[in-house]
Chains A and B, each alone.
Chain A
Amino acid sequence: MQILRVNLTTNAVLYKDVPESWRAYGGRALVARFLLDEVPPTCEPLGPRNKLIWAPGLLVGHMLSSVDRISVGGKSPLTGGVKEANAGGTTGMKMAWLGLHALIIEGGPPADGSWKILYIDAEGARLEPAGDLVGLGLKETGERLTERYGSKIGISAIGPAGERLYRSAGVTHMDADLNLTRLSARGGLGAVMGSKHLKAIIFDQPRANRPPVVDEQRFKDASRAYLKILREHPQTGQIYPTYGTAGMVELCNAVGALPTRNFSAGRFEAADRISGEAIHDLNLARGGQIAHACMPGCIIKCSNIYFGPDGKPLVTPLEYETIGLMGSNLGIDDPDVIARMNDIANDMGMDTIDTGAALGVAAEVGLLAFGDGERALVLMEEVKTGTPLGRILGNGAALAGQVLGVTRVPVVKGQAISAYDPRGTKGTGVTYATSPQGADHTNGLTIRADVDHTDPKGKVELSRPAQLNMGGYDSLGVCLMGTFAFGVDPTLIPELVNGRYGWDMEPDYLQQLGLECIRMEREFNRRAGFTAADDRIPEWMTVEPLSPLNSVFDVPDEELDAIFDG
């Protein structure tokens, strides 16, 4: 495996062996190691000293169900700290098949101000002019790139949001059906790519070229056992393929943590109109698709293709986070409106969580009435065309709050809280507060635990292992939906890793990897100027009770500060 470096200022393309100190890391942990080794922590995130890295997880490349995720990383222009954003699609798999342990993008923009495409195949890599792709939405970008390079490629690209340096811009990857819609969404990494004038990366490797496996039998046995759990358990075998992540709407609403009207309530009276069940029924009645896989080999298939009233595809995928932030959080109960907003965000290449949260903040000052879907769509059109207001909203909830004079802003480290209110699920609140990434449910969600979610006691102890596990999974390329099966049989992860690399990792490998990853991330943030004061839930959530549970976020600061000790 190799590291490919491409410099947008000098056009230099360089392949090197993986340094010894990077070999034990992939995905999120490699992002952290790379940032510590190569990126000045105080650099301007949108300047030439910041770098971007694409790092497949350590287990990527084998088409093992839901274990082919790609991590993109760099210093975040949204949080000012460490950022890793992972996604499905085919990028991770194609990179592994190209023999790449990581791809690093440096320098930029080109001296002449031009925009580039990076083309990579088995023979090498080269920068090409992006030409007329600049300014195009991701749908058209994907169509033109597959016309030009064929349909067997992988793509990572940015849309207009990234080109305009919106801090909620992500990096979008192509899915198994050539839709350019799988987003490394969080933290504004699309803006970093835009700052370097890199529009797209083509990974041209049609041939399955699995990375070497040292102990095939061991790897095969563990893979089989993993697939068996996925198939047999109702959650991965039935619920996700049928309802996708939208199955969370009713659950989170019942718990009392579904963001409603800019996080002013935890239950939405119309949750049943935007629930997984409602969307499933509507979508199937229109001929839409459920059980859609974002990457080849995935048997969980949590994705969907949501069809509009005209019986044609409207958006893929329509997911829980979007439903929470662009639906209940805005008081919107019409799945079609949510889907149209989602479609605009997808085409722009931007995070629906931060964008939905920004719209919620805008509603606080009357720019939108909660429940007014048509007005929300008008605001999304402004984001799309780039009016001054649209640019404010496109830069996320934190900036929108500052400009609009709103203090009820749901962010941690400048990044919007996802669709679990931290007052209604305090373990997840601890994760939001203390994750080096900023508020992000994927860094350690606790809603599944059988506990009183409003009791502050024991929530640090609940969040810590969840965060360590996710630090490990995100470094291996495992999808959040697949982590469930590995939880059922914790011996499988060490078995897979030992089989793949010939290592001799102990049963606690996953947690140890996660801890190392988070320690490196915290160190980068410390060097960037972060302190304990950044590890806090917004102050207003500690004094404003969440209805109807009447709960404030009250996990003690000292407990938050000690979470990664020991």
Chain B
Amino acid sequence: MDEPETMAVTVRLLSILRHRDGAIVDQLHLQLPLGSQASDALRAAEIPSQVEFILTVNGELAHEGVTLNQGDQISLIPIIAGG
């Protein structure tokens, strides 16, 4: 059997990133080419560029250049100054 050419990745949207077109969207399920990086997921998820956020992959802090694997969960958490 052929190897699949894409992989499933979940993007968890937090804070104002959940507000999309007037609705609340907590998660996006993406199919990305194998070998994609977190930055590819962000592009596919159409994340607005003016929002600063930190990124975790499977709960661990990561950066946009990290290579993703099948089944990874990315969380995008907008940064605030304090509370």
Contact = CB atoms under 8 A, between A and B. Distances in A.
Interface of A: 234-235, 238-240, 242-248, 250-251, 254-256, 267, 275-277, 281, 302, 319-321, 441-442, 445, 447-448, 480-481, 483-484, 487
Given A234-B51, A234-B78, A320 B16 contact: no
B14 interface: yes
A150 to B, nearest CB: 34
A277 B79 contact: no
B64 to A, nearest CB: 12
Given A234-B51, A251-B77, 5 more contacts: A238-B16, A242-B19, A248-B80, A277-B26, A281-B24
A242 B16 contact: yes
A448 B15 contact: no
A320 B81 contact: no
Contact of B82 (A245, A255, A275): A245
User: Is chain A's interface secondary structure helix, strand, loop, or mixed overall?
Assistant: helix
A448 B61 contact: no
A70 to B, nearest CB: 19
B42 to A, nearest CB: 16
B33 to A, nearest CB: 27
B10 interface: no
B24 A255 contact: no
Interface in B49-75: 50-52, 54, 56, 59, 61, 75
16 contacts: A234-B78, A240-B80, A243-B15, A245-B80, A251-B77, A251-B80, A256-B61, A276-B15, A277-B15, A319-B83, A320-B83, A445-B82, A448-B80, A480-B82, A484-B81, A487-B81
Contacts of A250: 14-15, 75, 77
Given A234-B16, A234-B50, A250-B15, A448 B77 contact: no
Nearest to A284: B24
Contacts of A487: 81
A321 B82 CA distance: 10
B81 A235 contact: yes
B14 A481 contact: no
The winner among A251, A442, A448 for most chain B CB atoms within 10 A is: A251
Size bin of chain B's contact surface: 20 to 34
Interface of B: 14-16, 18-19, 24, 26, 50-52, 54, 56, 59, 61, 75, 77-83
Contacts of A246: 83
B81 to A, nearest CB: 5
Contacts of B18: 277
B61 A247 contact: no
Nearest to A252: B83
A505 to B, nearest CB: 24
B68 to A, nearest CB: 17
A235 B51 CA distance: 8
The winner among A447, A480, A484 for most chain B CB atoms within 10 A is: A447
A247 B82 contact: no
Contacts of B16: 234, 238-239, 242-243
Contacts of B80: 235, 239-240, 245, 247-248, 251, 448
B82 A248 contact: yes
Contacts of A484: 81
B72 to A, nearest CB: 15
Nearest to A323: B83
B81 A481 contact: yes
B39 to A, nearest CB: 16
B14 to A, nearest CB: 5
Contacts of A275: 14
Contact of B15 (A239, A320, A483): A239
